[in-house]
Amino acid sequence: MLEPTNLETTFGFDRSSSVSIQLLLFIDKRPSSREYIQNIQHYFKQLKSDFSYQLQVIEIAEHPHLVEHFRLVAAPALVKVSPAPRQILAGSNIVNQLRKWCPRWQLALKESGPETSNNGKIQKQDSPKLINSLSHSAELMRLSDRVFHLNQEKEELIQQLKFKEQVLAMLAHDLRSPLTAASITVETLELAQNHQHPQFSVELKEELYQQARKQFRIMNRLITDILQVSQTMKTELDVHYNDVLLQVLCEEILKQYTNLFKEKSLILVRDIPQDIPQVYADEELIRQVIVNLLDNAIKYTPSGGKVTVSILHRTSQKVQVSVCDTGPGIPEEERERIFEGYFRLKRDQEKEGYGLGLSLCRKIIRAHYGQIWVNSILNQGSCFKFTLPVCR
């Protein structure tokens, strides 16, 4: 409970009267505030009235919740709290405003009669009780505000935990692709070493070594991300921006999917111009986005279907990447929800996965100041698109 401030002074005439105008003067710690107090005191001393005026001076810093309670936006401010209606005078010319309003307040008191309020009931409350009542209201407001902020913090923590689970599951899932590619490369090199196969030239072996090293670097980055996510509650991604050639990145990724396309008898269509400008992005994070979109496209495209990967230089500031399939499509009412964490379409309920990929994709693209969306026609297919900023 707030205690009344020490800066409390009562001024007026006819102190035996039960009728009084009760005022609160809010000031800050500026030296000029003392001058305001003296001017208002002097004004009340000059008044000749049958009504008493009770004035309490309150420093804003000591009672911020009273400031919030009255919704004050400037100091000094004089609040007439009783009798009703409440009125606030603010600014550097409070004394001039008092000259205008005091006669009206006195007239209103005479017309209403002693000890009455707007509803006709007897009302008698001295200044200390009034301030205690206001302090009680302010304390309730403070507690209510605190509960609100605690609820907000709770929701934020829940979202952070959910995001942490999503990223960990997604990164663990993404480890499969480079692990598989690295394993195949190492096995091929082992075969070449053991059998001295003539078709494995020195150049080819060096290319395989480079591919294996690259996949190990990707895995190392993913493992680092997993460790970072496991040690932090932050929802921000750790983004390392560089100049990236998307056409090179896409071709590298598509090369890894060659066997998978053959296994499902899918047709791969490339529309990747070589004159696409570099984008400003984190290459490994964008790799995750493209890999996830490709995984989904292959997953939902029936045997004999088509997957299209294209890059378009949309404007001088943006490059657009599209991954399209000829799968079942996505209902219109769910095209936005699929980017939410843990949301899965009914058709996917029995399938392996967590429903995390598109949620993380959106977080990554937003972290790059881009956009991601889907165009889809039921029973004809879906086309996922995202944009990235061009290097300046």
Tens of pLDDT, residues 355-380: 457 888 888 999 998 999 999 999 99
Q: What confidence score (pLDDT) does residue 228 get?
A: 53
pLDDT for residue 34 is more than 60:
yes
For the CA atoms of 248, 249, 250, 253, the dihedral, rounded to the nearest 10 degrees, stands at: 120
Angle between helices 127-174 and 176-195 (to 10 degrees): 20
Residue 229: left (phi > 0), alpha (psi -120 to 50), or beta? alpha
Rounded CA-CA distance 63/135 in Å is 9
Nearest to 208 by CA among 174, 236, 183: 183
Tally of residues, the chain: 392
Rounded CA-CA distance 158/249 in Å is 35
Instruction: Specify the range with the lowest mean pLDDT, choosing from 102-116, 265-279, 291-305.
Output: 102-116
Residue type, position 149, single letter: H
Higher confidence at residue 12 or residue 1?
12
How much is the average pLDDT of 154-180?
A: 73
* 132-144: burial string, b at 16+ Cβ within 10 Å, e else: eebbeebeeebee
- 36-41, long-range: CB within 8 Å, 24+ apart, which pairs? 36/76, 36/92, 36/94, 39/94, 39/95, 40/78, 40/94, 40/95, 40/98, 41/9, 41/11
pLDDT for residue 144 is more than 70:
no
pLDDT for residue 315 is more than 80:
no
Pair 112, 87: CB distance under 8 Å: no
Rounded CA-CA distance 196/351 in Å is 43
Residues contacting residue 220 through CB under 8 Å, at least 6 positions apart? none
pLDDT confidence of 22, banded at 50, 70, 90?
confident
pLDDT confidence of 282, banded at 50, 70, 90?
very high
Pair 27, 82: CB distance under 8 Å: no
Tens of pLDDT, residues 40-52: 888 888 776 555 7
Q: What confidence score (pLDDT) does residue 55 get?
A: 83
Q: What confidence score (pLDDT) does residue 16 get?
A: 44
pLDDT confidence of 7, banded at 50, 70, 90?
very low
Sheet of 52-59, strand order: 8-12, 52-59, 20-27, 77-82, 87-90
- State the DSSP code for 199: T
Q: What confidence score (pLDDT) does residue 187 get?
A: 80
pLDDT confidence of 328, banded at 50, 70, 90?
very high
For residue 319, the cross-strand partners are 388
How much is the average pLDDT of 133-154?
A: 68
Tens of pLDDT, residues 192-206: 776 666 666 777 777
Q: What confidence score (pLDDT) does residue 141 get?
A: 59
347: exposed, middle or buried (Cβ count in 10 Å: 0-12, 13-18, 19+): exposed
User: What is the value of pTM for the model shown?
Assistant: 0.46
Rounded CA-CA distance 264/74 in Å is 71
